[in-house]
Copies of this chain bind each other. A is one copy, B any other.
Amino acid sequence: MKFTEEVFAPHMRPITGSAIREIFKLLGKPGMISFAGGNPSNAALEPEVISELAVEVLAKYGTSLLQYGATEGFGPFIESAGEFLSEVGFRAGAGELLPVQGGTQGFDLLIKALVEPGDVILAEDPTFLGALQAMHTYNARIIPVATDENGVIPEDVEEKIKKYSPKLMYIIPSFQNPTGVTLSLERRKAMAQLACQYGVVLAEDDPYRDLRYAGEALPAIKAFDEEGWVVYLSSFSKYVSPGMRLGAAVGNKMLIRKMTIGKQSTDVHSPLLVQAIIDAYLRKGLMPGHLKRICGDYKKQLDAMLEGFKYLPAGTRHTVPEGGLFVWAELPEGMDAKALLDRCLENNVAYVPGTFFYVEGGHENTMRLNFSNATIEDIDKGMRALGAALAQ
């Protein structure tokens, strides 16, 4: 019998991968300045340090680092990751922290634990494409909730909770992907309260938190979670290395236990070598100095991009993020960032059209601009090129 698409589960057939992958394929062109990606800067990565730590932990732990480990995680890493996250405003106790393959796996395991086909998940609109794709692979029904310059709007969330009885809410509270916006303190309290009041699990995905270049650090939503409905997802991808794939999920014991069960049959455990390397990184106290250095660099890049908006068409609006990797722009009404992309690529500058990040599309005049993968000079040059292409 011939193998055809019909073999796949019906809900999986239309999922064909991130639309923005097609854009990424065009970035290899010589001279291209890319504001399209979401990678940390190569200058923020430290292969020599990781190499030394690899040698050190393999000498220290020997064969036990190469043997099977517990799904629950490598003991020393559970401890140091819990300590690292305590700055966020809560302290994970025993059985409350699970090592995961980046925040991405944390969210995937959460959906696996909670959602049946057709169950509703509330998502900020716009939001992270990878999270939307995860929701689709579990055949969830995604309901968008409104956001503004202070993040997701609790009143809209409450209305949607009443109307749709969601199982899960997905929120990126700090320097959101794609908008760069940060959820205000009042709204953090309100979101924790809504999660507990209505009994809806809130996935707080916070991978950019420590990339703050201005303003005061805020406690996590989880810090106000009195009954255990918030799961905090952290990741070392944006701080140390995305290629190593390590993060941590923190939640109540029952939830972490069920996510652990899901992880058992998904990948057994996170690689011990990686857990041990990040543990050593944290215990040696390398993180504060490293974050200070990379935040200093990223701030300059962000400032250069904000400055560069002077080249963009009059009437363009943009966010002024206090951290993270992205700025969000709204071109004047009537302009179509998707249609204009080809012209910009010809002009050697790339971005991601904002429409892709909306649950139901639309918002054609928006775009996401990343500033961490170009030099100050290239950011200036790229913003000029963008302005010129858009003005044609």
Contact = CB atoms under 8 A, between A and B. Distances in A.
Interface of A: 1-5, 7-12, 15-18, 39-40, 42, 45-48, 50-51, 54-55, 58-59, 61-69, 101-102, 104-105, 108, 112-117, 119, 130-131, 133-134, 136-137, 139, 167, 196-199, 201, 227-229, 237, 240-245, 252, 254-255, 258, 260-262, 264-274
Given A12-B112, A51-B59, A273-B243, A254 B67 contact: no
Contacts of A197: 1
Contact of A62 (B47, B229, B262, B273): B47
Contact of A133 (B12, B68, B264): B264
A267 B101 contact: yes
Contacts of A227: 1-3
B3 A243 contact: no
Given A3-B254, A47-B61, 10 more contacts: A7-B255, A9-B115, A11-B116, A39-B68, A51-B55, A66-B242, A102-B267, A104-B265, A137-B262, A244-B272
Nearest to A105: B267
Contacts of A136: 265
- In this complex, which of A5, A237, A261 has the most chain B Cβ atoms within 10 angstroms of its Cβ? A261
22 contacts: A1-B229, A3-B254, A4-B254, A5-B254, A12-B258, A12-B261, A42-B67, A46-B66, A48-B58, A51-B55, A65-B243, A67-B242, A102-B267, A108-B266, A130-B264, A131-B265, A137-B265, A244-B273, A245-B268, A245-B271, A266-B266, A271-B274
Given A12-B112, A264-B133, A274-B271, A67 B47 contact: no
Contacts of A268: 101-102, 104, 130, 242, 245
Contact of A261 (B17, B108, B266, B273): B17
Nearest to A240: B66
Given A68-B243, A243-B272, A243-B273, A265 B117 contact: no
Given A58-B47, A63-B42, A63-B45, A3 B113 contact: no
Contacts of A261: 12, 15-17, 133, 137
B7 A199 contact: yes
A105 B51 CA distance: 27
A297 B269 CA distance: 27
B7 A243 contact: no
Contacts of A266: 101, 104-105, 108, 134, 137, 266
A244 B340 CA distance: 45
Nearest to A115: B9
Nearest to A56: B51
A347 B373 CA distance: 63
A66 B51 contact: no
By Cβ-Cβ distance, the 9 closest A-B pairs, closest first, are A1-B199, A101-B267, A134-B265, A66-B241, A54-B54, A243-B272, A133-B265, A51-B58, A45-B66
Contacts of A273: 50, 54, 243-244, 273-274
Contacts of A198: 1
A271 B243 contact: yes
Contacts of A40: 67
Contacts of A62: 47
A139 B197 CA distance: 30
Contacts of A133: 261, 264-265
Given A104-B266, A266-B266, A47 B68 contact: no
A68 B55 CA distance: 22
A251 to B, nearest CB: 9
A88 to B, nearest CB: 20
B116 A3 contact: no
A75 to B, nearest CB: 14
